[in-house]
Structure 1
Amino acid sequence: MTREFSAGNYRFIPSVFQYSAGACADPGYEIERVRFDRWLPLAEGFVQAARFIRDAGRPLTAFCACELRSPAAFTEEGFRNFNLHYVKTLSEWGIFDGTTNSVARSNVCPEIDPPSEPSFYAFSFTRPSRSTTPTFVIAGGAEAREGAGSYVERTVRYRDLSPDAIKEKVRFTTSQMENRMAAFGYGWKDATGVQAYSIRDFHHALADELVRRGALRSGLTWHFARPPVVDLEYEMDCRRVVREVVI
């Protein structure tokens, strides 16, 4: 089920308070992805994103997705505290209403040379378009089932790093991406970019769990990074955009 966020000209998949599971531009609009040439601390990244969006003639409510980098994986409590801080800006922008968050997000932790504080890697926003090509951004998802309970309870093959467990984690996460795209009526054939985040060797899962399912028709960008919560091992996100810039 998706929900409309008319102030931003996109619909989204409701999820948890800190992010949505994905965003898809309304007809007459497209999603543009903007990547920073260097990581920017969270506050500065928000400032630069706001400037770029306004310069494009768009309201701040057009902000629909972001990609973050953090110094290290959080504990569950630490992750919640970070998210409570993160959503304050979205509240000021008229996006987060205290309960529902329409902005899709990934937040991962580079294993080598990480930032000293949570930082921006990229963001996406909607803008008017004459194109009929659909555009969407699917939020990062790892091998944790959605719903109530701790990450220990919800994580697929918790703390199991065997090749078979890694393959199952990849399979679960790939299915999660498929389910989220399907909520918008799309699939792997529509994706123009796929990213994976892990420090584990998942090469043995590529053929069966990614290539044969059509996930890698546009290739794969692998970031040597951990998911944002301790003991998660594999994360993915994907998107369909026709316009990407680096600033």
Structure 2
Amino acid sequence: MSELVDTGSGYAFLPAVRQYSTAVVATGDHAISRVRLTQPVAHEVAFELIGHHLAALGQPTTALCAIELRCPEPLSEQGFSDYNDRYLASLAHLGVDVADGSPVARSMVCPVVEPPTEVSLHAFSYVMPQFEIGPGGLVPLERTFVLSGSAEVPEGHSDYHGHIVARGNISQTGLRRKASWVLGEMTRRLGAIGADWQAVTAVQAYTGRDMGSLIQESVHPMVSGAVDWHACVPPMAELEFEMDARRVGIELRLAPTVS
């Protein structure tokens, strides 16, 4: 099992695949803030927006620790790989060290209704010093983290589609197997960063299938915070269910100016 790697920028990450880390955890006196955009911003200007937002806060671009993307439609394996090359180049241009793979956590899903015309930014998270009032004065916020999205397939296989859990099975039995596997992977990630489901304050579940009862029976009993169900599918063809989870200090809404 991988161990957390400290970036020296206010967070540590759990290595995964080249395009994203499995999870990020704030370190020291830092905590994670999340910004959700009121409308998606195209890839071409998304990283510029992130850079300007962090500069306005007096934070370095290396404070960026998580990104949530929206995609027009599921991609082929080659299309996914091609986009990841473009994505990593954008992170590198922003100043993030991606030489050994991206430390930034990521979710990337495709809306079923009104998808964007190109891959776009939905939300991003970053670290900065944050405090709360404790018995003896100001103390750092309780540990914050973001888990990357996971669909029903183990990461890192060259034969990606050959490892999809219950591939092609969209019966209730098949969907239950998919949801169970993803929930197990989220539980594993929490354990790897020294957390548990009680520490989670928000979960996002993504599927285009009618899985309300399955989410109710499998996810809700585990989580003390909210579960948001999005009508989205994972970014690669034949995948049906994805989840991510987080505990952050501040949640913001940002209305970008789009010309």
Question: TM-score normalised by the shorter chain: which range applies?
Answer: over 0.9
For residues 96 and 236 of structure 2, what CA distance do their matches in structure 1 show?
25
**1:64 matched to which residue of 2?**
65
Which of 228, 232, 240 is equivalent to 2:235? 228
Superposed, which structure 2 residues align to 1:9-28 within 5 Å? Answer: 9-28=10-29
SS of equivalent residue, structure 2 residue 178: helix
Q: Does 1:180 align with 2:189?
A: yes
**2:147 matched to which residue of 1?**
138
For residues 203 and 102 of structure 2, what CA distance do their matches in structure 1 show?
23
CA contact 1:138–1:180 (8 Å) conserved in 2: yes
Query: Given the two structures, how large is their TM-score scaled by the length of structure 2?
Result: 0.91
1:101 Cα deviation (Å)?
1.0
Which of 4, 25, 34 is equivalent to 2:6? 4
SS of equivalent residue, structure 2 residue 213: helix
CA contact 1:27–1:132 (8 Å) conserved in 2: no
CA contact 2:13–2:24 (8 Å) conserved in 1: yes
- For structure 1, the 5+ residue unaligned runs are none
**1:193 matched to which residue of 2?**
202
1:149 Cα deviation (Å)?
3.1
For residues 226 and 120 of structure 1, what CA distance do their matches in structure 2 show?
16
Cα shift readout 1:3-40 (whole Å, capped 9, x = no counterpart): 1111x210001011111111110020000001111110
- For structure 2, the 5+ residue unaligned runs are 132-139, 255-259
Q: Which amino acid aligns with 2:55?
A: R
**1:88 matched to which residue of 2?**
89
For residues 216 and 87 of structure 2, what CA distance do their matches in structure 1 show?
37
Q: Does 1:169 align with 2:171?
A: no
For residues 80 and 175 of structure 1, what CA distance do their matches in structure 2 show?
26
1:97 Cα deviation (Å)?
3.0
**1:203 matched to which residue of 2?**
212
1:207 Cα deviation (Å)?
4.1
SS of equivalent residue, structure 1 residue 160: coil
Cα shift readout 1:111-170 (whole Å, capped 9, x = no counterpart): 111000100000000001232311101000000012323222111011111101101100
CA contact 1:23–1:137 (8 Å) conserved in 2: yes
**2:37 matched to which residue of 1?**
36
CA contact 2:26–2:127 (8 Å) conserved in 1: yes
For residues 63 and 73 of structure 2, what CA distance do their matches in structure 1 show?
29
For residues 242 and 33 of structure 1, what CA distance do their matches in structure 2 show?
8
Superposed, which structure 2 residues align to 1:93-108 within 5 Å? Answer: 93-108=94-109
1:46 Cα deviation (Å)?
1.0
Considering only CA atoms, is the larger Rg found in Structure 1 or Structure 2?
A: 2
**2:74 matched to which residue of 1?**
73
Q: Percent identity?
A: 34
CA contact 2:51–2:94 (8 Å) conserved in 1: no
**1:237 matched to which residue of 2?**
244
SS of equivalent residue, structure 1 residue 98: coil
For residues 165 and 204 of structure 1, what CA distance do their matches in structure 2 show?
14
Q: Which amino acid aligns with 1:163?
A: Q
Which of 220, 225, 229 is equivalent to 1:218? 225
Q: Which amino acid aligns with 2:82?
A: N
* Structure 1 residues 83 and 111, CA gap change in structure 2 (3 angstroms): same
